[in-house]
Each structure stands twice: as C-alpha cells, then as structure tokens.
Amino acid sequence: MKSVFRLRNLLLLRKKNFLTSARRTLSSLVNKRESLLPDDKLTLQDFLVVGKNLPKPNEIPQEEPLPPYLKNIDVSGENRKVYFDVYGCQMNVNDTEIVWSILKSQKYQKTENIDEADVILLMTCSIREGAENKIWNRLVHLKGMKKRRGKKSDPLQIGILGCMAERLKTKIIEQEKDVDVVAGPDSYKDLPRLLALGKNGVRIKEVTLLGQNVNSFRDLSKENQEPEATQLVPGFKTVYKTKVGGLRFAELLERIANVSPELRIRFTSPHPKDFPSAVLEVIAKYPNICKSLHIPAQSGNSSVLERMRRGYTREAYLELISRVRKVLPNVSISSDFICGFCGETEEEFNDTLTLIDEVKYNVAYLFPYSMREKTTAFRKFQDDVPHDVKIDRLNRMIEMYRRNSQLLNQQLIGTTQLILIENQSKRSKDEIYGRCDGNIKVIIPKSNEINVGDYVAVEIVDANSQGMKGKMLGKTLLKEFYLN
C-alpha cells in the first residue's frame, strides 16, 4: 500500500488566517485541507475558492475534525532528513525557519546536502513568470532524484510550500504527480502529519463537510454558464439575500462523490430550507454519499418556530421529510430539538413530542432552552419556562426519541450493513466499532483481519436505541458492497 497514494491539498474549505505579510497574494484568502486520495481521481481542486467573492464564513464548509484513524498517526519524523530549497524574499526565509521549528519538534533533522535528504521542501516564489519557471525546472530535477531513489529505501518526499503553493495549487496538484505535499502558510503546522500520512500511504476514507447551514454553500467565485438563483424548499423562508450563480452545494457534493468511489461523504449541519431536489437527487445517485441527513427541527409547533424565527411551519417541515423519504426511502434522519423556549406552553410542547413520534428520528440532539445574550429572543422575549418544567419536557423528549430509535435500529436486525471501522470499543478490548451508512454505531467482535479504516460488511444481530451489534461477514470495498 505504501507510496501508492499521494498527499494532495484539497477537499474542505475554511476561512484563512493570514499568517504572513500583506505581500502574499490576495488570491489566497481560502484555506485548504490536505488529504490523501488515489492518484487518478484527483479533481477536487475546483473546490478551492479563490478570489474576491469569498462566501461568508458561515457558508463555508469547515475543516472536519480528524477521524480517529488519522488522529492515531505517528507524526514523528524518526530523524528523517529535510532539505530546504528556498527562493524569493526574506519572508520565505522567515517561513522556512517556522517550518523548520515545527519539523524539528517532531524529530526531523536538517541537512545541507540534498543527496542525503528524505524530504525536500521547496519554499517557492511566484513574483513573476521567471521565478515560477525556475521552480518548474527544479521539479524536473527533483522528480528524477525521486525516481532514482525508488522504493528500495524510504521514498523521497517532495513538498511545495510558499507563494506558488498558494497561487498555483490546482495546477501543481493536477500536473505534478510526484509532488507529495502542497501546503500554504496556513497548513505549515500540519506538515508533520501530512508528511507522515504520505509516508505511510494512509487514505482518507470518509469526509464530513462541516459548516453552519452547510447546504446553503455557494462558491460565487465560480462562473456558472446558467446562473440559477437559490431555490428554497417550498414553505421555507430566509432573511438572507438570494444568491445567484456560482458553484452550488449539489454540484460540490457531486464533485466530491466523483473523487473516489471509496470515499464516504457526510455533511452537517444543514438548514432544512436548503434541501432542493437537486441536492436530494445527487445524494440518491451516489452510493458513497451517505443516506443520512441531519434536518434540525428545533420545535414541532408553528408558533414556537415563528418565535424562534426558523422560517418554516410544522407542516412545511413534515412536507420536507416526506419529500426526502420519497427520494431516499431508507434515509436515516437526525435532528435537534429545544424544549422550554420562551413562552412555550404545554400544548406547544406536545406538538414537539408528536413531531418526534411522527418523523421517527434515528438520532436526536435534545436540549432544554438556555437564553443567550445578543439574540433576538433575548431582546424580544422572556426566558419564562421554569427550569424544572424544562427538565421534565427534556426527559419526555428523550423517552419519545429513544422509543422510536430503538424500533428503527431493531428493524435492521438481520440486514447486511456496510460499516467503516473507526476504533477500538471503549467497553471491551475484544470489540471494535464502525458506523453504518445511517451513521449509527455498530459494534463487532475484533478480528486480526480488520483494521481501523476498513470497510466491513456486517450482519446486524442486536440493537437498542443507542446502537447495534453486528457479525462480520467480510472485508469489502464500498463500491463492491453496493454493486451486490
């Protein structure tokens, strides 16, 4: 498996901290996340947002937390030798010092002799064409070195840092298959992990696009031949201005799904107003996009929803659920609910209970209301539901939700599910767990055949409201599993 996969910079977008001087190009306002993906499937560069029409921060899918199998990566440099090839101005000299201090802290050694280097990092300059040409030519030479080193010993790793990494990330990723890492200043702190991942040939198997209202994402820096306005779900309103043109969330999902059939995709946390048919159809079309949706309701009562300024009624929400289930019949649905919102009566709360019962959520996040300053509710309403009433309502919500989630999980007993192994079970060293497509935890007996990050077909043998137990049927690939 070693060396088969290369480190690439792509996938998720997040707001960038400018770490260096204003001389850095303004076109690099957006961060990237590094990932490892199969060589021939790397076309996600288009998701890197560049330019002045940057989406607002709350519209940008943010960096996902590391999955457990990446958290456990040993980032030690194990005394591997790094050679820095520095171009450009004083800023690159300063950045080289920063990078070196990061790598040194992870037991890398520095070398002045390129022939003995295990890692060659080019600190690039893109001030003019000539400066960039110098780097392209240098790469030809380095790729030759890498080839000669072969796979006999530790493979030579090549990294592109600095201004060219920011300006030309897409081109470098697409064109330079022998480059292992492309990282701008925002990613320098991750370099030990990125180099370790590349060295160990680890693949990312699952990504979760994270962001508040993630499904309202629109990359307005992307041209669109047929500019289309944002289509809200019928019955849903928003106070935000309608956006036109650009790359929409449905297209983003589709592009990510096409990166690799083995990459499992989730997203959270969406707003129910942004589930147009196009998004649902893309989810239905790709087996590697999980049929597991978070559709936060917050309350089941239309008056409470209005006081919360949610922009929809109970009826509109139920209509959405029914439309989602028509397109995705086996979808697993999760939600958020709050009880005891300002002025919530017993009757209004009962609507929440009946909604939970009617929809039947696989997962629910349930909270008693707690007023926060600087919110509309703080300015307009009183937090007047007594604490003990809130706790009583919370307990009733939990009971209703658990009753249904237990039934849903038990209905899966006897079915075959694909799980992605995540970690050792906390309760028993003889067990390991993964998550099925519906994002429910499935515990299975440990086996020497399976490792964290493997896809495993399991038969569900037991279930409760919290999760399921399974029997391993065999290791598989996501694509294979859904073909059968």
Chain residues in the site for ligand SF4 (CB under 6 A):
23-24, 88-89, 91-92, 125-127, 162-163
Tell me how far, at minimum, the Cβ of 170 lies from ligand SF4, in Å.
Answer: 17
Looking at the Cβ atoms of 1 and 22, the one nearer to ligand SF4 is: 22
Minimum Å gap between C-beta 25 and ligand SF4 is 7
For 260-341, where are the alpha helices, taking DSSP H only?
277-285, 302-307, 314-327
- Closest to ligand SF4 by CB, 34 or 132: 132
What is the nearest approach in angstroms of ligand SF4 to the Cβ of residue 227? 34
Of the pair 130, 329, the CB lying nearest ligand SF4 is at: 130
The rounded distance, in Å, linking the Cα atoms of 84 and 110 is 8
Task: Tell me how far, at minimum, the Cβ of 60 lies from ligand SF4, in Å.
Answer: 25
Backbone angles phi, psi at 162, to 5 degrees: 85, -160
Nearer to ligand SF4, 66 or 89 (CB): 89
* Nearer to ligand SF4 (CB atom), residue 183 or residue 209: 183
Q: What are the angstrom distances between the C-alpha of 333 and each of 44, 246, 351, 405, 408? A: 28, 29, 19, 10, 11
CA distances from 478 to 188, 266, 284, 404, 432 (A): 33, 14, 15, 29, 19
CB closer to ligand SF4, 92 vs 404:
92
Identity at 474, one-letter amino acid code: G
Minimum CB distance to ligand SF4 smaller for 163 or for 321: 163
Rounded to a whole number of angstroms, the minimum distance from the CB of residue 137 to ligand SF4 is: 17
**Whose CA is closest to 195, among 360, 34, 337, 304?**
34
Specify the residue for token string 């519906």.
Answer: 438
Indicate the Cα dihedral angle 221, 222, 224, 228, nearest 10°.
-60
Residue number, 125 or 156, with CB nearest to ligand SF4: 125
Total count of residues recorded for the chain: 484
- Supply the minimum distance, in Å, between the C-beta of residue 480 and ligand SF4: 46
Token couple for 277 = 């048919």
| Closest among 427, 462, 418 to 446, alpha carbons compared | 427
| 90 or 484: CB nearest ligand SF4 | 90
**Rounded least distance, CB 87 to ligand SF4, Å:** 7
Nearest approach, Cβ of 123 to ligand SF4 (angstroms)? Answer: 8
Place of tokens 């294979």: 480
The Cβ of residue 155 has, within 10 Å, a number of other Cβ atoms equal to 17
C-alpha distances in Å from residue 466, one per residue of 227, 378, 412, 440: 44, 35, 13, 8
With b meaning 16 or more CB within 10 Å and e meaning fewer, what string describes 397-417? beebbeebbeebbeebeeeeb
- To ligand SF4, the closest distance from the beta carbon of 85 in angstroms equals 13
Q: Which is nearer to ligand SF4, 184 or 296 (CB)?
A: 184
Closer by beta carbon to ligand SF4, 125 or else 408: 125
Q: How far is the CB of 88 from ligand SF4 (least distance, A)?
A: 3
- Strand bridging mode 109-110 / 5-10: unpaired
Judged by beta carbon, residue 163 or residue 400, the one nearer ligand SF4 is 163
By the 8 A CB rule, do 472 and 416 touch?
no
Residue with nearest beta carbon to ligand SF4: 88
Q: How far is the CB of 91 from ligand SF4 (least distance, A)?
A: 5
The string of DSSP letters for 390-436 reads: HHHHHHHHHHHHHHHHHHHHHTTTT-EEEEEEEEE-SS-TTEEEEEE
Tokens of 347: 């009757």
Name the minimum Å distance from CB 412 to ligand SF4.
55
* CB distance 82 to 109 below 8 Å: yes
Q: In 150-273, which residue ranges form alpha helices assigned H by DSSP? A: 163-167, 169-175, 191-200, 249-259
